[in-house]
Chain A
Amino acid sequence: MKRWINKTPSKTLAFVLGVIPFILVMALYQWGSDLRKAENPNDKLLPSVSQFYSAIDRLAFTPSKRTGEYLFWKDTLSSLKRLLMGVACAAAIALILGLITGAIPLVAANFNPIITTISLIPPMAVLPLLFIVFGLGELSKVMLIIVGITPFLIRDLYQKTKEIPQEQLVKAQTLGANSVQLINRVLLPQVLPRLLDALRLSLGTAWLFLIAAEAIAATEGLGYRIFLVRRYLSMDIILPYVIWITFLAFLLDWLLVHASKKAFPWYHSAK
């Protein structure tokens, strides 16, 4: 008999094995929900599937009685807007700083100590400061995401720039490249797919800061809604929202992977 470490599942088996935990979790939930409902039909902690449906229908497909808006979509839109703005700004700052510090040792000596220091500050600790400086509006929430993920991105891109083989830099110089050309034509194009990799890693953190900021000061947004309805123990809203956020996170990750494969085929097939 083969050793366990040498046994690999077929595609079908791998799929079945992967699906089993999901089914188990759902079955477990259903069982728990039924159990609690049998004891107290008004139980709010583990709502039934039909309660989820009516909650989703109320928020996503029925206009709100007060404002006439579809709250679920409004929340999604404003959260995604904040998230994407924050991530895009962080990516732009990190690309420029990471690339230049990675390429030019003098700039690295100048900037790396302060970047390292800033990256050690817990972003949530400066959230009050952001609210004071940038107000309670959109800007402070976007700023929290930027403050939260930019230092990591800069340091990662610095490292990735450094990892481009020295041989290529020497080669480019023997082909007559000056420093600016070398950054433009050799380093930048090779760092871009690595930036997308780094963004995938930092998206989870970006969601964390977004929801934290929305929980504290907002009038709409996925995180805001979850924390709002928590007061009424509305598990029928909180759980679908959490699943929706998970799906959005998965979708963004998927988009980044596919954009990268489409734009940088040489990067993915060389790996």
Chain B
Amino acid sequence: MTKPQIAQPDNQSDNQSEKQTELLGQTQIEFRHVTKSYGENLVLDNINCEVKRGEFITMVGTSGCGKSTFLNMLLGTVAHTKGDILLEGNPIVAEPSPERGIVFQKYSVFPHLSVRENVAISKEFEASPILGRLFGEKRQHALEEADEWLNAVGLLAAKDKYPHELSGGMQQRLAIAQALIKHPKVLLLDEPFGALDPGIRKDMHKLVLALWQKYQLTIFMVTHDLNEGFYLGTRLWVFDKTRHDPHAPHRYGSTITFDLPIGKTDEASFQQIEQSLEASRLSA
């Protein structure tokens, strides 16, 4: 079954509108003909995209559409099969590095360290190459710097607690503070609020938008929730298969079927994307 090809935004007019809104944004990340397959199973097919500094990309799609694979390729935990991924013009390092911060849905924080220590640990990694541990005055400095970031995410009051004493939302705040203290070039969020209650999720949205503006971050965020994608992103990507062979479901991979700049996030496009997601859910 071939699904109706969804119109991609016209490249030329898109470029113009982007130039006006992000005159200062330089290209930070480029995907050139990137393909990912596991043996016969083609997951992502010929991804081409450019992302500028300061963009907030939200990625949606049905499960198994490859959006997490895309994020993991950026993170360096999954190697791409073909093509080039460039970060500021250089091929991306194929293992996690401080250039790319990450917040997972779960297990992002260290259970054996207090909240402060969780944030200060990257300072200790920086200054103590073997033990990864600082003592005395140096440790105090690292902890004080950690406190500043805890303040930025609204977690200063809980600085001496351990992660198991924190709620889910507070743990995610901690994971964000951990990532930000390293000043990463890109911040990757893998369904960070998927396990949180709706009220708390709203607070986290506010926090992420505030941090994004204040620190001019480039953010990639995978989400299940289309509303969340529309609300948070400056650009919304939809991952889906454009062709589908019912007899060989693995033959065709996903690609980015929608690439919507924030200006175009109107009710009509929301409906259109929701319908296409529904259709691909049914066909899967």
CA distance in complex: A168, B110 (Å) = 7
Give B178's nearest chain A residue, CB to CB: A175
Question: Is B102 a contact of A176 with CB atoms below 8 Å?
Answer: no
Among B132, B164, B179, which residue has its beta carbon within 8 angstroms of that of A177? B132
Q: Find out whether the CB atom of B133 lies under 8 angstroms from the CB atom of A185.
A: yes
Instruction: Say yes or no: A174-B182 contact (C-beta < 8 A), given A266-B162, A270-B111.
Output: yes
> Which residues of chain A are near B168, meaning CB under 8 Å?
none
B190 to chain A, nearest CB (A): 9
How far, in whole Å, are A238 and B78 apart by their CA atoms in the complex? 63
Task: Knowing A170-B102, A175-B98, A175-B125, say if A267 contacts B112 (CB, 8 Å).
Answer: yes
- Contact residues in B for A246 (Cβ distance below 8 Å): none
Bitwise, A238-271 to B at CB < 8 A (1) or not (0) is 0000000000000000000000000011110110
| Cβ B129 vs Cβ A174 within 8 A | no
Q: Does B184 contact A (CB under 8 A)?
A: yes
Query: Can you identify 15 A-B contacts, CB atoms within 8 angstroms?
Result: A165-B106, A167-B106, A168-B108, A168-B110, A173-B96, A174-B102, A174-B184, A175-B178, A176-B122, A178-B125, A180-B130, A190-B110, A190-B111, A266-B162, A266-B163
* Interface residue B227 (Cβ < 8 Å from any Cβ of A): no
Q: Chain B 158-171, CB within 8 Å of chain A: the 1/0 string? A: 00001111000000
Q: B259: CB under 8 A from chain A?
A: no
Which residues from A are CB-within-8-Å of B182?
174-176
**Shortest distance between the CB of B176 and any CB in chain A (Å):** 12
Check: A181 CB closer than 8 A to any chain B CB: yes
Nearest CB of chain A from residue B138's CB, rounded to whole Å: 15
Q: How far is the CA of A172 from the CA of B119 in the complex (A)?
A: 11
In this assembly, does A186 line the interface, its C-beta being within 8 Å of a C-beta of chain B?
yes
Known contacts A167-B107, A184-B133; is-contact A174 B112 (Cβ 8 Å): no
In contact, A176 and B112 (Cβ under 8 angstroms): no
Hey, what's the 0/1 contact readout for A163-203 against B, CB within 8 Å counting as 1? 00101101111111110111011100110000000000000
CB distance from A185 to the nearest CB of B (A): 4
Check if A184 sits within 8 Å of B132, measured CB to CB: yes
Residues of B contacting A184 in the complex (Cβ-Cβ under 8 angstroms): 130-133
- Is residue B17 contacting chain A, with contact meaning CB distance below 8 A? no
Contacts of A265 in B (CB 8 A): 162
State the Cβ distance, B171 to closest chain A Cβ, in Å.
Answer: 12
Is the pair B125, A174 in contact by a Cβ cutoff of 8 Å?
A: no
Interface residues of A in 178-233 (CB under 8 A from B): 178, 180-182, 184-186, 189-190
A267 to B96, CA, bound (A): 27
B95 within 8 A of A: yes
Contact digits for A139-176, partner B, Cβ 8 Å, 1 yes 0 no: 00000000000000000000000000101101111111
Tell me whether B153 is interfacial, beta carbon within 8 Å: no
Interface string of B114-145 (1 = CB under 8 A from A): 00000001101110111111000000000000
Number of interface residues of B (CB under 8 A): 37
| Beta-carbon nearest neighbor of B175 in chain A | A171
B90 contacts chain A at the CB level, 8 A cutoff: no
Smallest Cβ-Cβ distance to B164: which chain A residue: A270
Closest to B96 in A: A173
Q: Which residue of B lies closest to A188 (CB)?
A: B112
Least distance between B191 CB and chain A CB atoms (Å): 12
- List 9 tightest A-B contacts by C-beta distance, closest first: A181-B132, A175-B122, A173-B96, A165-B107, A167-B107, A270-B164, A185-B132, A176-B98, A176-B125
Minimum CB–CB distance for A178 against chain B, Å = 7
Q: Does B101 contact A (CB under 8 A)?
A: yes
Chain A residues whose CB sits within 8 angstroms of the CB of B238 once the complex forms: none
Known: A175-B182, A176-B98, A266-B164. A170 touches B77 (CB 8 A): yes
Contacting residues, chain A, for B100 (C-beta < 8 A): 174
Report chain A residues within 8 Å CB of B178: 171, 175
- For A177, A178, A185, the residue with the greatest tally of chain B CB atoms inside 10 Å of its CB is A185
A172 to B132, CA, bound (A): 11
- The reply to whether A174 and B97 form a contact with Cβ atoms under 8 Å apart is yes
Q: B122 touching A178 by the CB < 8 A rule? A: no
Residues of chain A within 8 A of B112, CB atoms compared? 189-190, 264, 266-267
CB distance from B103 to the nearest CB of A (A): 9
- Any A CB within 8 A of the CB of B252: no
Which chain A residues numbered 95 to 143 have a C-beta less than 8 Å away from chain B? none
| CB–CB B111/A266 < 8 A | yes
For residue B31, CB closer than 8 A to chain A, the reply is no
Evaluate contact between B125 and A181: CB separation under 8 angstroms: yes
Tell me if B75 is interfacial: C-beta within 8 Å of chain A.
Answer: yes
Find chain A residues with CB under 8 A from B212 CB: none
Q: How far is the CB of B69 from chain A (nearest CB, A)?
A: 15
Q: Across the two chains, which residue of chain B brings its CB closest to A180?
A: B130
Say yes or no: B108 contacts A171, CB within 8 Å. Answer: yes
How far, in Å, is A219 (CB) from chain B's closest CB?
Answer: 45
Q: Within 8 Å CB of B179, what residues of A?
A: 174-175
Instruction: List the A residue with the shortest CB-CB distance to B126.
Output: A176
Smallest CB separation, B222 vs chain A (Å): 14
- Among B77, B106, B130, the residue within 8 A (CB) of A181 is B130
CB distance from B131 to the nearest CB of A (A): 6
